[in-house]
Each structure stands twice: as C-alpha cells, then as structure tokens.
C-alpha cells in the first residue's frame, strides 16, 4: 500500500514526528497548532466567517460560523474538529470547515468543544450536543434552514458526529439529515490487529498514539460502551440518517472507521464508505493542495448536497 507520492515528498527530509506519549500535552497542542495553521486555506470564497460563543453545559462554547455565498436560507452543518479529543481548535481545521461551507453550500458551525485530559468524556460530546441543539433552534437567525441540519467531523470529530446522530434520534430531535465522518473510529478502544498492526509505526499517526489519546480521554471501560464513544455499540442503528464514511488507506484507524459501515447497512441505513488510496490519517487537512484530500472533500460535499436536496423533496 504505497503512500501517495505527493505526501511522501511533503515529508521527505523532515524530522520524524515524535511519539505523542513523549510530549507534554500543552507542548503537543502548540506543535499541532503551529503545523496546522501553516497550511494554506482552500481557494474558496465565502460570504463571511465570524467567531462567537453559544451556551454550553459548562459555560460558553466558542464556535466559528462560516457563511457561503448566495441568498439562502442555507442548510446548516455542525462540524467537529479532530485531534484525538486532546488537541485541535477552531484554527487547526479551519481549512476543512471552509472547504465544507463552500463545496456543500452550507453554513458551517465549527465547535471548539472541551478537550481532555482536563475535560474527559463526556465533556466533548456534551458540548457538541449543545451546539447541535443551538443550531436547530437558531438556524433562522443566521439565515439557515433547521430542516436541513447535518453533522460532520474528522477523526475524533467523526466519532462525535456519529454520536450526535444517535443522540438526536434517541432524544426525538433535532432531525439530522446527514452525517459526514472522515476517518473517525466507530469503536473504542480500537481493535488490535488489522490496520492497527499494519500501520503500528505510522506514517504520522502511530498505533500507540491512538492508544494514548484514548487513555487521556476515557476514564473507565464502561465509558467505551457509550455510543458517544463507540457508535457501533448503540442499542440500535435503525432510523439513523445517511452516513458518508471516508478512510485513509495507510491509517491505523482505518479498520475501526470502516467497520461502522456494515453495521449501519444491516440496520437499513443509507451509508457510503470510501477508502482513499495512498492517503494517511489527517489527509483532508491538506485540501488546499492534495488531490486525494480534494477528492474526499468533493465527495463529502456531493453527498451532503444530495441529502439536503432529498429533505426539500420530502418537505
């Protein structure tokens, strides 16, 4: 499974990223932020990008609202960034939110949820749930259409998106039209063997990095049984919205992300699972210049637009 030549060229001559476990959390956050914010944004035009806060379960939650060009009202997508539930913020995956807003012609509400280890499970999904409810209740005030509400995320954010769809169904709303999950595992802890063994030493993300993030986030084995951490363990998967699951070929988390697809399909849920050859974990962040990332973004946006259109047809 060769790595995409452009990715290989990017890392040629670069020092190897040290094991996550070897770095103090705050230094890790600073390093991830520095490397992420150096990446260029995709060449898209938006009407506006604005920061604000919304009420959360433990205080205000910072969000960033991306407004596409046009007259609206627009669909609304709550987006949750990746980072193992430990790193990441509104800036580290700003490029993904921009690509999603422009490509899917949707308002994107990017959520700066609380991070572990200071705030362990279930702090992150609780903040994300507050954002989903806020988006549904306040869509009209931001020129959005609450009937066309989606959730999306990459890596840890994909896990959160999975969980929000289940929670919305179980709590009687708000109705979620679609879920986009870029390489977020369907179960925790990630099963050993398979891609976890094959890509034990990376590239970039190592199997032990995955284990360490899990240790920082989850306090007890019982929490791994919660669908907000392990969507495959939900009591039922019936009546969930359509899901788009994208995975990277060279990724220790690949198998754990892909395994959710058959579970959803068995429950009668529309699901599209696509593996991107040559890609590595986190590749969608390179949407400004990497063809594989651009393809994964375009596929997700096409999927969202199709699901939003289906809502209009049934309204």
Q: How many domains does one find in the chain?
A: 1
Question: How crowded is the C-beta side of 110, counted as CA atoms within 13 Å?
Answer: 24
Residue 229 has pLDDT above 80, yes or no: yes
Give residue 163's pLDDT band: very low, low, confident or very high (50, 70, 90). Answer: very high
| Predicted local distance difference test score (pLDDT) of residue 312 | 78
Q: CA 84, 62, 94, 277 torsion: positive or negative?
A: positive
Give residue 315's pLDDT band: very low, low, confident or very high (50, 70, 90). Answer: low
Residue 1 has pLDDT above 70, yes or no: no
**Residue with the two structure tokens 């709590």:** 171
Question: Do residues 26 and 43 touch, judged by C-beta distance below 8 A?
Answer: no
Mean pLDDT score, 165-169: 98
CA distance 110 to 97: 7
**Residue with the two structure tokens 């959160």:** 160
CA distance 152 to 50: 19
Nearest alpha-carbon partner for 183 in 310, 34, 293, 298 = 293
What does the chain come to in residues? 315
- Neighbour-count burial of 106, counting CB atoms closer than 10 A to its CB (0-12 exposed, 13-18 middle, 19+ buried): buried
Q: Which residue numbers are catalytic?
A: 155
- Widest pairwise Cα distance in the chain: 55
Torsion-angle region of 196 (φ positive above 0: left; ψ -120 to 50: alpha; else: beta): alpha
| Predicted local distance difference test score (pLDDT) of residue 192 | 97
| Predicted local distance difference test score (pLDDT) of residue 159 | 98
**Mean pLDDT of the chain, nearest integer:** 97
**Residue with the two structure tokens 């360490």:** 212
Tell me the H-state helices in 172-259: 195-198, 207-217, 221-224, 254-258
Which residue(s) pair with 60 in the sheet?
A: 55
Give residue 314's pLDDT band: very low, low, confident or very high (50, 70, 90). Answer: confident
Mean pLDDT score, 296-301: 98
| CATH code of the domain covering residue 52 | 3.40.50.1820
Question: How crowded is the C-beta side of 291, counted as CA atoms within 13 Å?
Answer: 5
Give the start-end residues of each E strand in the chain. 48-56, 59-67, 74-80, 107-111, 144-154, 178-182, 243-250, 271-280
What is the domain range of residue 260?
5-314
Question: Do residues 301 and 273 touch, judged by C-beta distance below 8 A?
Answer: no
Q: Is 174 helix (H, G, I), strand (E, B) or coil?
A: coil
Which residue(s) pair with 151 in the sheet?
A: 78, 179
């Amino acid at each position: 499974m060769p790595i995409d030549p452009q990715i290989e060229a990017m890392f040629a001559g670069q020092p190897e990223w040290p094991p996550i476990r070897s770095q103090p959390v705050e230094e890790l956050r600073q390093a991830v932020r520095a490397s992420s914010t150096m990446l260029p944004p995709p060449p898209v035009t938006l009407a506006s990008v604005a920061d604000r806060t919304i009420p959360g379960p433990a205080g205000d939650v910072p969000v960033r609202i991306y407004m596409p060009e046009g007259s609206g009202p627009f669909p609304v997508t709550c987006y949750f960034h990746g980072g193992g539930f430990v790193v990441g913020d509104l800036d580290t995956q700003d490029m993904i939110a921009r690509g999603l807003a422009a490509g899917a012609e949707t308002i994107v509400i990017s959520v700066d949820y609380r991070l572990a280890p200071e705030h362990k499970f279930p702090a992150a999904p609780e903040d994300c749930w507050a954002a989903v409810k806020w988006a549904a209740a306040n869509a009209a005030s931001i020129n959005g259409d609450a009937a066309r509400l989606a959730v999306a995320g990459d890596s840890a954010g994909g896990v959160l998106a999975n969980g929000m769809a289940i929670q919305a169904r179980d709590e009687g709303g708000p109705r979620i039209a679609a879920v986009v999950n870029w390489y977020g595992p369907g179960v925790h802890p990630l099963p050993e063997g398979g891609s976890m063994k094959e890509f034990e030493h990376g590239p970039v993300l190592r199997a032990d990095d995955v284990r360490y993030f899990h240790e920082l986030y989850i306090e007890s084995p019982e929490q791994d049984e919660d669908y907000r951490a392990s969507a495959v363990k939900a009591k039922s998967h019936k009546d969930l919205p359509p899901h788009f699951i994208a995975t990277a070929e060279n990724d220790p988390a690949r198998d754990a992300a892909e395994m959710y697809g058959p579970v959803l399909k068995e429950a009668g849920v529309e699901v599209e699972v696509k593996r991107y050859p040559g890609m590595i974990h986190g590749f969608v962040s390179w949407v400004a210049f990497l063809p594989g990332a651009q393809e994964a973004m375009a596929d997700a946006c096409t999927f969202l637009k199709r699901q939003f259109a289906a809502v209009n047809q049934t309204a």
